[in-house]
Amino acid sequence: MAVSSASLRACFLAGLLNSMVGWALAQNESPVKAFRPCIDPSNLPFANSQGEGFENHIADLFAQKLGVPVQSYAFPQRMNFVRNTLRYKLPEQDFRCDIVMSVPAGYDQTNTTIPYYRSTYILVYPKGKGLDQIKTGTDLFALSPEKKAKLMIGIYDRSPGSTWLVKHGLEEQAKPYPILSPNPEQYPGEIIEKDLAQGKIDAAIVWGPIAGYYAKRVRNVDLVLVPLKSEPGVKFDYEIAMGVRYGEREWKETVEKLITENRTAISQILREYNVPLVNEHGDLLQ
């Protein structure tokens, strides 16, 4: 059967294209034109618009490895954050961003990557203020009834800390803070940097990266960090992954490759922000 010249040209072009793609892959060239994280404009230690958070620095690392620039899209991390960033797309326009840098492993609003760190909730208290005997979470419940009755412990509402205090009969000692504030100027670390440091509360229970970062920033008081271990009915430690859109298999594989190949550098960045890292048993990693 005769083969038309048009068919020959099509076969030649297809072969040429395959050769070009193979050459690009051999040269480790990335088809990604920019690394585009969805970030909060003011949410340290995670991220901000000035590029000062650890999510910003991990994004810089990944972009460098891919040989592309970083193009962040900033939106307050409140309700419907993923819908308004990662999944938002107008007709004939591109998505606003391509990756959420920190989501719980298994988070159902995104297709989650392999985890890149695990942390836990932390009990934070000022040194020399009557709580120095607390070395573990259970030590809190061994305090005398008189001392426990006077405690004021800051917690975010609907958090593991609030569940834990209620479980152990200390709900009267809890001072709840809204987990999602409508005020964009407020940030999670205020509970430590302002209220705890100024003596408005005696202790606080917050997520590890927030506790580690803001405890290090406080200058007028020495703060003690006590990692809390999960127990029946209360989970404190969580694996954190990155989130991409469903259906983007190759992009997810690219991000997972970046995580796998750069674990040492990622851990170094996290430690620079004083993020408490724990193993699957909730024990601190040295």
Peptide bond into 45 cis (omega under 30): yes
- Tell me the pTM: 0.86
Instruction: Read off φ and ψ for residue 227, nearest 5 degrees.
Output: -65, 135
Please provide the distance, in angstroms rounded to a whole number, between the alpha carbons at the two ends of the chain: 72
* 15-67 residue pLDDT tens: 433 433 333 333 444 578 999 999 999 999 999 999 999 999 999 999 999 99
Q: How far apart are CA 258 and CA 31, in angstroms?
A: 15
The residue type of 30 is S
* 190-200 residue pLDDT tens: 999 999 999 99
Give which of 16, 217, 159, 233 is closest to 225, Cα–Cα: 217
What's the whole-number mean pLDDT along residues 72-96? Answer: 92
At 14 the pLDDT is 39
**Per-residue pLDDT at 182 exceeds 80:** no
Q: Is 122 helix (H, G, I), strand (E, B) or coil?
A: strand
Domains delineated in the chain:
32-117+238-272 (3.40.190.10), 121-227 (3.40.190.10)
Proportion of the chain above pLDDT 90, given as a percent: 80
* 231-258 residue pLDDT tens: 999 999 999 999 999 999 999 999 999 9
At 26 the pLDDT is 37
Q: How many CA atoms lie within 13 A of 180 on its CB side?
A: 7
What's the whole-number mean pLDDT along residues 178-189? Answer: 77
User: With helix as H, strand as E and coil as C, how does 53-112 read?
Assistant: CHHHHHHHHHHHHHCCCECCEECCCCCCHHHHCCCCCCCCCCCCCCEEEEEECCCCCCEE
Burial zone of 125 (CB within 10 Å; 0-12 exposed, 13-18 middle, 19+ buried):
buried
